[in-house]
Amino acid sequence: MNIHFCSRPRLCSWLCSWPVLILCVVLLGSCSDTAIDPFENDEKYFTVYGFLDDLENTHVLRVIPVTRRAERIEGVGDAQAKIDAEVFTTDLNSGVRTKWTHNLEKLSDGSFGHIYRASFPVTANKRYKLEIIRSDGIKTTAITRVPFISEADLFEMGPEIISEDSSLVYRDIKIPRIPSPWDIQGIYLWGGGGVDDIRINRRIYVPYGRAGHRTDDGGWQIRINISDDQRYVRENVKLSIENNRIDENTAVGVSAMGLQIRMLDEGWDPPNGIFDPEILSKPGVLSNVENGYGYFGSVGLYVQEWNIEHLSVLLGYDF
């Protein structure tokens, strides 16, 4: 099995891009023979990459010992195929401590890496401490707090803008307190059917990625293209017809929309909100690890929805 040492593809794509550059800078000194001696390296013992996700029960970390040579494990017989490290996380609210399980696993580039997995529920707004412990008691540690926002109406909503011919409908939304959202999805709720039909309701997600930009006061600004997004809703309506949940004559309409935001923990905020590998490859630019390198983070969730029944007919639906 080829892995990227985590299970969420978009977040993994970033985690797998800049750590390579960091390792080149940190461990190889511009990839030359002037490697940093771990015993003269400011007590940096391990590099770690991974995160906790409050939507997942299984979590993944990659751990790399800081040594004279960059880790490049070609097979189970290599000297670096063994690792002197036990990994634990502790819920700092409850005190529950979990030991992670180690495996040497094949990575996407064909080499092998030291991968640790653990299964436990993650709770928003709790702090978790990571410990990577050598047999001699040496530790690399990190702490993350899972992001959480309690407000039900966080967004600052701009007006709904409708073009003269009603073909374009959009809305600008400011998102305070989330300076660097990792992933944004638009949400639309549609329904169909009536007395003579099976009434159905669907929630459709529209990918926005990290669309938008950081505001001067540390929030995030995004434009939601409501009219363009309806192609995702109509595709789902068509699928419901094909699956015989409704027929072609069933009246349908949209009732609500919203945004779902994956939030990174407060320390996981790149300079100017931009995940630039050239900037992030510099040691110390983005790290919460004590006695080591890398980042141990967490990902939370915020969702806000609101009524748009008044736009349904304008957007081409029956009611």
Summarised one tens digit per residue, pLDDT across range 245-297 is: 888 999 999 999 999 999 999 888 777 666 665 555 566 667 899 999 999 99
Q: Which residue has the tokens 């940096």?
A: 44
Q: Of 45, 31, 109, which Cα lies nearest the Cα of 73?
A: 109
The C-alpha atoms of residue 288 and residue 271 are separated, in whole angstroms, by 15
CB atoms within 10 A of CB 45: 21
Cα torsion 266, 272, 275, 276: sign: negative
Q: What is the pLDDT of residue 1?
A: 42
The label of the residue with tokens 């750590």 reads 19
Find, among 84, 80, 67, 81, the residue nearest to 132 by Cα: 84
Dist CA 269 CA 147 (whole Å): 12
pLDDT of residue 77: 80
Take residue 16 and report the two structure tokens written for it. 């797998």
SS3 301: strand
**What distance in Å separates the CA atoms of residue 226 and residue 244, rounded to the nearest whole number?**
27
Q: Cα separation of 234 and 245, whole Å? A: 14
Any alpha helices (H) in 115-189, and if so which ranges? none
User: Which positions of the chain have pLDDT values less than 70?
Assistant: 1-41, 69-70, 194-198, 272-285
Distance of CA 291 to the CA centre of its chain: 25
HSE-CB of 73 using CA atoms within 13 angstroms: 22
pTM score, two decimals?
A: 0.81
Q: What are phi and psi of 121, to 5 degrees?
A: -75, 145
